[in-house]
Amino acid sequence: MNFTLNDEEALVQQTAREFADKELAPIAGQIDRDGQIPRAVLDKLAALGFLGVLTPEAYGGSGLGNFLLAVIQLEVNRGCASTGVTMSVHNSLCQSPLLKFGTDEQKKKYLPRLARGEWIGAYSLSEPVSGTDAAALITTAAQVASRGYCPSMATFHCVSAVTTSAPQ
């Protein structure tokens, strides 16, 4: 496979590199100490189109695809790994299932707000036995007639987060 970047791809890489060098690297230590990415950084990522890399333009994303997501990720991670992993989860673990399995209504409702950075996608993974080792997860869910689905683990946590105070 040829990984030589064309002019457009090189421009995207340069943009991501400059952002990482100027905006992320100087504050990466502070981000790690605080455990929080400043809202202004997320807003800049959104303005660059980096929070909707896989999302088509029709849903408000930049629609650049997986290869350019990898190129952008390399540069952003070079500047701040915490910001890079947040951007990665937001683009892939959050938006990809919506793109692949979501209804048109769900895509129209969620993807534009995610691509604009109004909402930031996240995910959590932990079990008492496996910790964060996804391959060692043992929880399953069984359908319970009157209650929907019930997890098999006695200790089970479900966490949701909302970034706005207004109901959506």
Judge whether residue 155 has pLDDT over 80.
no
The reported pLDDT for the residue numbered 136 is: 81
Judge whether residue 150 has pLDDT over 70.
no
Q: For residue 34, give its domain range.
A: 7-115
Q: Are residues 45 and 97 in the same domain?
A: yes
The reported pLDDT for the residue numbered 162 is: 42
112-132 average pLDDT score: 84
Q: Are residues 34 and 62 in the same domain?
A: yes
The reported pLDDT for the residue numbered 148 is: 64
Q: Are residues 54 and 137 in the same domain?
A: no
Query: Coil, strand or helix: which one is 168?
Result: coil
Look over the chain and give the mean of its residue pLDDT values, rounded to a whole number: 87
Q: Are residues 56 and 93 in the same domain?
A: yes
Grade residue 129 by pLDDT with cuts at 50, 70 and 90: confident
Q: Is residue 100 part of a domain?
A: yes
The per-residue pLDDT for range 59-110, each reduced to its tens digit, is 999 999 999 999 999 999 999 999 999 999 999 999 999 999 999 999 999 9
Q: Is residue 2 part of a domain?
A: no
| CATH assignment of the domain containing 70 | 1.10.540.10
39-68 average pLDDT score: 97
Q: Are residues 108 and 131 in the same domain?
A: no
Of 9 and 143, which is predicted with more confidence? 9
Query: Coil, strand or helix: which one is 135?
Result: helix
Domains held by the chain: number: 2
Q: Is residue 34 part of a domain?
A: yes
Angle between helices 7-19 and 66-79 (to 10 degrees): 30
Q: Is residue 1 part of a domain?
A: no
What is each CA distance from 4 to 9, 74, 107, in whole angstroms? 9, 15, 33
Instruction: Give the Cα separation of 64 and 53 in Å (integer).
Output: 5
Q: Are residues 54 and 135 in the same domain?
A: no
Query: Coil, strand or helix: which one is 110?
Result: helix
Q: Are 31 and 82 in contact (CB under 8 A)?
A: yes
DSSP state letters, 63-98:
---HHHHHHHHHHHHHH-HHHHHHHHHIIIIIHHHH
